[in-house]
Structure 1
Amino acid sequence: MLIRISQILIAFFSSIATAVPVEAQSQILKLEPSSKWMIDYADDSCQLSRQFGTDKEKVIAIFSRFAPGDEFQLTMAGKPVELRGVTRKASVRFGPAETEQQLKFGIGNLGNDMPALIFLDQISIAAPEEVDKKNGMKATTGKYLGLPMTAERKAAVTQLFIGRPLRRPIKLKLGAMDKPFAALSTCIDELLTHWGIDVAKHKNLTMPVRPAGNPGRWVTPNDYPRGMLMKRKQAIVHFRLSVDENGKASACHIQQSTRPKAFDDAVCRALMRKAKFQPALDKDSEPIASYFRSTVVFTTR
C-alpha cells in the first residue's frame, strides 16, 4: 500500500528525459558483479545489496524488505542511472524470463554524491498482472496478491534489466537469486522477533491486520510539514505501526526514510492520531498483536 501526499503533484523532479530504444542491444551497459551480496540487519528493515561494475560504471543494487513476503523496494545507485529529468515510470525486467514492468520512481542520492533511482512501490520479480493471473484472479495493475514465489523461479532470475528512461540501458548480471532472497527472508523472520511478534503464529494467520476505514485519509496534504513544503523538500517514508489485540495502534516506527526527520515526525503524528484497525486473527480466529506497514510519499510539482 502506498499513500501519496501531494500539495502539488508528480514524483520528484519534473521534466522529460530522452529514452534510448530498448531494442538497441549494442548500447546496453552489461555489468558483472564486483562484490559479494551483503545483508544489512537494520533496526526495522533488511537490505540485500551488491555492487556491479567499477569506477564510473559502478552501480549498486539494493533490495529492501520491510515485512515477510516476496515483495521488496528496489533502489539503483551510481553514475549510469543519473538522470537530468524524469518520466513517471521506468521499464524494469527480471530476466531472462520474467515480464517487463513499468515502475514509478523518484530521484535521490545514496550518500552524498551517488545519484539513485528509488522505485516507489513494493515490487516482486514478477509483474503484478502475472502474479494475479497465476493466482487464478482477475489482473489488477499495480497490485500484488501475495502469491508465493518458488525457489526454482527465484533461481531462474539471473539478471536485472533497466531500460527507459535511462540514456543507456543497463543489464546487471545478478546470478541465481534463490539464495540471496532466502537470506533476506531469514533476516526478516529474525526481525519480527525483535518487534515482539510471534513468528510461528503469523505464518498461520486466518486474517492479517486490516485498516478500519480508508488509510488514504490518515495522512493528508495538511500534514505536509510547512517548512519542508516552502523549501520544496520531498520524501519517501516507510513506516510500521504496532497494532495490539484490540486493533489499536500502540507505536509508530520509521522503517526507512529519505528524511529530513520532519517528514518522519509528521507521518507518525498523523497515524497515531487517525489510524484504526481490525486486529489480526491467529489460526483459531483469536485476536493477536501484530503490525501494519505502508509507505507515504511526499511530492511537489
Structure 2
Amino acid sequence: MSKLLAMLTTFAVPLTDAPSVLEPANDWSVEHSDGRCLLSRSFGTGADRIVFGLGLYPVTGADQIVLIEPAREAKSIKPTEARLVLNPGRDRETVYGVAVPREEGGSITKFAVPVALTDGVRGGERVVIRTEGRRYDLPLSDMGAAFAAAERCQNDLMRKWGLDPDLATAVVTPAEPVGSPASWLSANDYPRDAQIREPTRKVVARAEIDAQGAVTNCAVVQSSGAEALDQVTCEVVVRNRVRFRPARNAAGEAVPSIWIQGFCWLRWPDSLCIP
C-alpha cells in the first residue's frame, strides 16, 4: 500500500565544537532550479571546497538548504541530518534531508528547513554546519545584495507563472494552511492506474488563494513526471482539502496570495523523499 510523507520536524540542539572557517571563494549567485530560485556561494578551496545554497519560492520563502560537497563521494541516496547554528551561541536547529550522488562526482544534500531559519541567514554573520562528522564554519557577507538578487529572481518566476510580482510584495503575513497536513492525504489517493515503479515521486504545487482564504487555482511548479499524480495533487488534495487563513498586508487587511508546497508520494514506508 502506498504511504505518504507529509511532515518534517525540527529540534533545537547545541553545537559546541569550533570548526575551521571556510572563506568565500566567489560572489553569491542566483539561478532558477526546480521552479525555485537557488541562492548559492562557494566556500573554501581544493578538497575543502563546498557550495552552500538556499532554495527560495516567491511569497513562501526558503524551504531548502543545499550543501554540495564535490570531494565527498556518496555511493547511494540516503537520509541524513545536520546541526545548524546561526551566529554561534544563538539560533540552533537540527534539520533533516537526503544526500544524493552527483553525476560529476561528490554529493549534494538537500535539507528541508523552516522559514524562520532562513530569515536568520538573511541577517546573520555566520552559519555553522555539522553533518556526519564534518563541520563547516561559513562567514555570511553581502547578504543584503544577495537577497535583493534573489528577490529579482522570484519576481521573474512570478511573471513566468503569469502572476503580478506586486502580489508578493503586498504580503506581510503569508497565507497559512488550517489543520494538519496529515489530514490532507491518504493512501487511497494514489492513482490505481499510475504505472510508476520508482519508490518516490514528488510534486510541488502552487495554490492561488483569494482574500477569503479559498483556493482559486492550482498549478504544478515541479512535476512528478507522472500526470496522474500531478492531477491528484492539485485537483483532489489542494483544491478540495486544503483551507487557509488568508495572507495579510501591512495594514492587517486580508489580501490574495500564493502558497507553494511539496507533496511526496511514497510507494512503501521506507522510501526516501528528496526535499
How high is the TM-score relative to the length of structure 1? 0.64
The equivalent residue for 2:237 is 274
Q: Which has the higher strand share?
A: 2
Q: Between 30-39 and 237-246, report the one with greater CA deviation.
A: 237-246
Q: Between 176-185 and 282-291, report the one with greater CA deviation.
A: 282-291
Deviation of 1:59 (Å): 1.2
Rate the CA distance shift 1:197–1:209 in 2: closer, same or farther, 3 A.
farther
Summarize the alignment of residues 139-150 of structure 1 with structure 2, pairs less than 5 Å apart. none
Rate the CA distance shift 1:251–1:99 in 2: closer, same or farther, 3 A.
closer
Q: What is the DSSP-based 3-state SS (H/G/I as helix, E as strand, rest coil) of the residue aligned with 2:141? A: coil
Tell me if 1:291 matches 2:254.
no
Q: What is the DSSP-based 3-state SS (H/G/I as helix, E as strand, rest coil) of the residue aligned with 1:185? A: helix
User: Mind listing any 5+ residue stretches in structure 1 that lack a counterpart?
Assistant: 12-20, 127-147
Contact 1:30 1:172 in 2 (8 A): yes
Deviation of 1:6 (Å): 4.2
Q: Deviations over 1:121-171 (max 9, x none)?
A: 344337xxxxxxxxxxxxxxxxxxxxx77xxx845x2322111x4222122
Out of 128, 151, 156, the position equivalent to 1:185 is 151
Rate the CA distance shift 1:217–1:82 in 2: closer, same or farther, 3 A.
farther
The amino acid that maps onto 1:76 is L
The amino acid that maps onto 2:107 is P
Contact 2:80 2:99 in 1 (8 A): no
Deviation of 1:60 (Å): 1.3
Q: Deviations over 1:44-98 (max 9, x none)?
A: 3211111222343221112110122653411101146667897764211122464
- Give distance in 2, aligned partners of 1:179 and 1:194: 23
Tell me if 1:114 matches 2:106.
yes
Rate the CA distance shift 1:80–1:95 in 2: closer, same or farther, 3 A.
farther
The equivalent residue for 1:252 is 219
The amino acid that maps onto 2:66 is T
The equivalent residue for 1:139 is none
The equivalent residue for 2:133 is 167
How many residue pairs get matched?
A: 254
Summarize the alignment of residues 129-148 of structure 1 with structure 2, pairs less than 5 Å apart. none
The equivalent residue for 1:92 is 84
The equivalent residue for 1:104 is 96
Deviation of 1:214 (Å): 5.6
The amino acid that maps onto 2:145 is K
Root mean square deviation, CA, Å: 4.2
- Give distance in 1, aligned partners of 2:57 and 2:22: 28
Q: What is the DSSP-based 3-state SS (H/G/I as helix, E as strand, rest coil) of the residue aligned with 2:59? A: coil
Summarize the alignment of residues 23-34 of structure 1 with structure 2, pairs less than 5 Å apart. 23-25=16-18, 28-34=19-25
Q: What is the DSSP-based 3-state SS (H/G/I as helix, E as strand, rest coil) of the residue aligned with 1:181? A: helix
How high is the TM-score relative to the length of structure 2? 0.69
- Give distance in 1, aligned partners of 2:82 and 2:231: 30
Q: Deviations over 1:247-297 (max 9, x none)?
A: 345342224x7x6x23x7514423312323469578799987643211223
The equivalent residue for 2:117 is 125
Rate the CA distance shift 1:49–1:154 in 2: closer, same or farther, 3 A.
closer
The amino acid that maps onto 1:77 is I
The equivalent residue for 1:54 is 45
Percent identity among equivalent residues?
A: 19
The equivalent residue for 2:273 is none
The equivalent residue for 1:158 is 125
Deviation of 1:24 (Å): 4.2
Contact 2:70 2:105 in 1 (8 A): no
Q: Deviations over 1:204-259 (max 9, x none)?
A: 4598656577653444334557765x55x33554321345689345342224x7x6
Q: What is the DSSP-based 3-state SS (H/G/I as helix, E as strand, rest coil) of the residue aligned with 1:31? A: coil
- Give distance in 1, aligned partners of 2:166 and 2:5: 39
Summarize the alignment of residues 220-231 of structure 1 with structure 2, pairs less than 5 Å apart. 220-223=186-189, 228=196, 231=198
